[in-house]
Amino acid sequence: MKLGVNVDHVATLRQARGTTYPAPLEAARLCEKAGADGITIHLREDRRHIQDADVREFRRALKVPLNLEMANSPEIVEIAVAVKPAEVCLVPERRQELTTEGGLDAAGQFDALKPSIAKLKAAGIVVSLFIEPSVRQLDAAVALGAPVVELHTGKYCDLAGAAQADELRRLAEAAEYGHRLGLRINAGHGLNYDNLPAFRQAVPHLEVLNIGHSIVARAVLVGMEQAVREMKDLLA
């Protein structure tokens, strides 16, 4: 199973102070060094973390494939077509959300998605749809001509006990069904060092897991000692 690392929150830290550091690309290079199979960034319409220049820079400099998360908006579709990341993952976006909430309604937004997906595919980009684990959404992904889906694991990660077990079953059934339809199955959102093992064990046919927040959060802690030592050395 492959790991795609989402480095959006390195950009969140940069944007918080309007500095040039920490550079998301530098973080991505370290991810590559550590074995990441791909890098994901989300160019949001509100540009709260990743900026347009980051997308161009990542496309030029990365060795592993770039997966660009984005809303189905004409402006962002144009950017994707110009930059040509290896993969685009279409996600829903709401202005006030803390992070992507819920999956893309591929079935409900069929007519709006169809031309954008065709445009992205014509540019040679592999299109993935970030959807809830439901038959309706998986059928819509196939009808839209998307070769890949990313199953939204957010609910699984937020729930506990029997409700979490139910959601895990739903994810496993969706992966099985999607695989039978010929879709490639990715997954992500909210996965962390604690909830990953059970998810991995229960859900079949997974190709790529896209994980961001928990890895960036862990990196802050495992890197803190060295960061303080370096500053102390300057004071010595």
Residue closer to ligand PXP by CB (options 89, 183) is 89
State in angstroms the smallest separation of the CB of 167 from ligand PXP. 15
By the criterion CB under 6 A, which residues form the site for ligand PXP? Answer: 6, 8, 42, 69, 89, 91, 99-100, 130, 150, 188-191, 210-214
Residue closer to ligand PXP by CB (options 132, 150) is 150
Residue tagged active-site, from 69, 87, 132, 167: 69
State in angstroms the smallest separation of the CB of 184 from ligand PXP. 15
Encoding tokens for residue 118?
Answer: 């065709």
- What are residue 39's phi and psi, to 5 degrees? -125, 135
State in angstroms the smallest separation of the CB of 169 from ligand PXP. 21
Q: Are 189 and 151 in contact (CB under 8 A)?
A: no
Residue tagged active-site, from 9, 42, 49, 152: 42
Q: Are 52 and 43 in contact (CB under 8 A)?
A: yes
Q: Are 7 and 29 in contact (CB under 8 A)?
A: no
Q: What is the DSSP letter of 190?
A: S
- What are residue 221's phi and psi, to 5 degrees? -75, -45
Residue with tokens 């893309």: 104
Residue closer to ligand PXP by CB (options 102, 235) is 102
State in angstroms the smallest separation of the CB of 71 from ligand PXP. 10
Q: Is 230 a catalytic residue?
A: no
Q: Are 40 and 89 in contact (CB under 8 A)?
A: yes
Nearest to 113 by CA among 139, 132, 140, 136: 140
Residue closer to ligand PXP by CB (options 83, 210) is 210
CB atoms closer than 10 angstroms to residue 147: 15
Residue closer to ligand PXP by CB (options 220, 228) is 220
CB atoms closer than 10 angstroms to residue 79: 17
Q: Is 189 a catalytic residue?
A: yes
Q: Is 69 a catalytic residue?
A: yes
Residue tagged active-site, from 9, 49, 152, 189: 189
Can you tell me whether residue 131 is helix, strand or coil? strand
State in angstroms the smallest separation of the CB of 233 from ligand PXP. 33
Residues carrying an active site annotation: 42, 69, 189
